[in-house]
Structure 1
Amino acid sequence: MSDLALTDHAEAILCAIASDIETHQSTQQQYDKSQGDEADFSGEESAAAIHGRLRQASNFSLLQLSSEFRALRATVLRLWLSRVHQMSETTIQEMIRFNEAIDQALAESIVTFSSRADRTRDLFLAVLGHDLRAPLATVTLVAELLTRTALPPDQVAPLGQKAKRSAMLMSSMVTDLLGFTCLQMGAGMPTTRLMIDAQEVCKAAVADAHAMYPGSAIVFQPRGNLTGAFDAIRLQQLLTNLLINAAQYSAKGQDITLLAAGDEDAIAFKVCNFGPVIPEESLKTIFQPLVQLDPDSGDDARPKTSLGLGLFIAHETTAAHNGTISVTSSVDEGTVFTVHFPREGV
Structure 2
Amino acid sequence: MRAAAVRLGAGAPGREERRAAALVLEHSIPTLPTAMTLSSFIKENMEAIVEEWLAFAKTMEPAATTMSVLALRDHAKPILLAIAKDLESSQTAAAQADKAKGWAETLSTRETAAATHGALRQVAGFDLNQLGAEYRALRASVIRLWMKARPDGIDADFVDDMIRFNEAVDQAVAESTSRYAAELALSRDTFMAILAHDLRSPLSAIRMIGHLMEKSGATEAARKQAVQIQRSAKEMGEMIRDLLEYTRTRLGKGIPIHPAPCSIGMICQEALAEVQTGQPSRQFDIDVADGLAAEVDSGRLRQALSNLLNNAVQHGDPASPIGLTATGTSSDIVIEVKNQGKPIPAESLQVIFDPLVQLSAQSVTGKEPSTNLGLGLFIAREVALGHHGTLEVASDPENGTVFTMRLPKQNGP
What TM-score do the two structures reach when normalised by structure 1? 0.62
**For the structure 1 residues 157 and 329, does the alpha-carbon distance in structure 2 shift closer, same or farther, using more than 3 Å as the test?**
farther
* CA displacement at 1:265 relative to structure 2: 2.8
* CA displacement at 1:166 relative to structure 2: 2.5
How far apart are the structure 1 equivalents of 2:181 and 2:242?
A: 27
Corresponding letter in the other structure for 2:254? G
**Corresponding residue for 2:269?**
203
**Corresponding residue for 1:108?**
177
Task: Confirm or deny: 8 A CA contact 2:343 2:401 kept in the other structure.
Answer: yes
How far apart are the structure 2 equivalents of 1:292 and 1:190?
A: 25
**Corresponding residue for 1:171?**
237
The yes-or-no answer on 1:27 pairing with 2:60 is no
Task: Confirm or deny: 8 A CA contact 2:335 2:405 kept in the other structure.
Answer: yes
How far apart are the structure 2 equivalents of 1:23 and 1:108?
A: 27
**Corresponding residue for 1:52?**
none
How far apart are the structure 2 equivalents of 1:114 and 1:282?
A: 28
The one of 316, 321, 333 equivalent to 1:267 is 333
**For the structure 1 residues 157 and 262, does the alpha-carbon distance in structure 2 shift closer, same or farther, using more than 3 Å as the test?**
farther
Q: Secondary structure of 1:278's partner?
A: coil
Task: Confirm or deny: 8 A CA contact 2:338 2:403 kept in the other structure.
Answer: yes
* CA displacement at 1:301 relative to structure 2: 7.4
Task: Confirm or deny: 8 A CA contact 2:293 2:409 kept in the other structure.
Answer: no
Matches within 5 A, 1:57-206: 72-74=105-107, 102-111=171-180, 117=185, 153=220, 162-206=228-272
* CA displacement at 1:104 relative to structure 2: 4.4
The one of 405, 408, 412 equivalent to 1:339 is 405
Task: Confirm or deny: 8 A CA contact 2:295 2:410 kept in the other structure.
Answer: no
Task: Confirm or deny: 8 A CA contact 1:180 1:313 kept in the other structure.
Answer: yes
How far apart are the structure 2 equivalents of 1:224 and 1:146?
A: 40
**For the structure 1 residues 258 and 113, does the alpha-carbon distance in structure 2 shift closer, same or farther, using more than 3 Å as the test?**
same
Q: Secondary structure of 2:105's partner?
A: helix
* CA displacement at 1:344 relative to structure 2: 4.5
**Corresponding residue for 2:24?**
none
How far apart are the structure 1 equivalents of 2:386 and 2:289?
A: 24
Task: Confirm or deny: 8 A CA contact 2:356 2:373 kept in the other structure.
Answer: yes
How far apart are the structure 1 equivalents of 2:246 and 2:374?
A: 11
Q: Secondary structure of 1:206's partner?
A: helix
**Corresponding residue for 2:317?**
251
Task: Confirm or deny: 8 A CA contact 1:323 1:345 kept in the other structure.
Answer: no
Task: Confirm or deny: 8 A CA contact 2:214 2:223 kept in the other structure.
Answer: no
Task: Confirm or deny: 8 A CA contact 2:186 2:251 kept in the other structure.
Answer: no
Higher Rg of the two aligned structures: 2
Higher RCO by CA contacts (8 Å cutoff, separation 6 or greater): 1
* CA displacement at 1:260 relative to structure 2: 0.8
Task: Confirm or deny: 8 A CA contact 1:241 1:311 kept in the other structure.
Answer: yes
**For the structure 1 residues 35 and 120, does the alpha-carbon distance in structure 2 shift closer, same or farther, using more than 3 Å as the test?**
closer
Q: Secondary structure of 2:280's partner?
A: coil
**For the structure 1 residues 28 and 225, does the alpha-carbon distance in structure 2 shift closer, same or farther, using more than 3 Å as the test?**
farther
Corresponding letter in the other structure for 1:215? S
Give the total of aligned pairs. 267
Tell me, which stretches of 5 or more residues in structure 1 are unaligned?
Answer: 1-19, 39-68, 78-94, 129-134
Q: Secondary structure of 1:72's partner?
A: coil
Task: Confirm or deny: 8 A CA contact 2:259 2:411 kept in the other structure.
Answer: no
After superposition, the CA RMSD in angstroms is 4.6
Corresponding letter in the other structure for 1:330? D
Tell which deviates more after alignment, 290-299 or 229-238: 290-299
* CA displacement at 1:24 relative to structure 2: 5.4
What TM-score do the two structures reach when normalised by structure 2? 0.53
**Corresponding residue for 2:356?**
290
How far apart are the structure 2 equivalents of 1:317 and 1:70?
A: 33
How far apart are the structure 1 equivalents of 2:188 and 2:249?
A: 16
How far apart are the structure 2 equivalents of 1:211 and 1:28?
A: 71
* CA displacement at 1:21 relative to structure 2: 7.0
Tell me, which stretches of 5 or more residues in structure 2 are unaligned?
Answer: 1-36, 54-72, 78-101, 111-163, 197-202
Corresponding letter in the other structure for 1:108? T
How far apart are the structure 2 equivalents of 1:200 and 1:219?
A: 15
* CA displacement at 1:97 relative to structure 2: 11
The yes-or-no answer on 1:315 pairing with 2:381 is yes
How far apart are the structure 1 equivalents of 2:183 and 2:268?
A: 40
**For the structure 1 residues 327 and 35, does the alpha-carbon distance in structure 2 shift closer, same or farther, using more than 3 Å as the test?**
same
> 1:309-331, CA deviations, whole angstroms, 9 ceiling, x for partnerless residues?
11111111111100011111112
Corresponding letter in the other structure for 2:105? L
Identity of aligned residues (%): 29
* CA displacement at 1:23 relative to structure 2: 10
Tell which deviates more after alignment, 155-164 or 237-246: 155-164
**For the structure 1 residues 97 and 75, does the alpha-carbon distance in structure 2 shift closer, same or farther, using more than 3 Å as the test?**
farther
Q: Secondary structure of 1:291's partner?
A: coil
> 1:75-119, CA deviations, whole angstroms, 9 ceiling, x for partnerless residues?
899xxxxxxxxxxxxxxxxx999988754431133345556x499
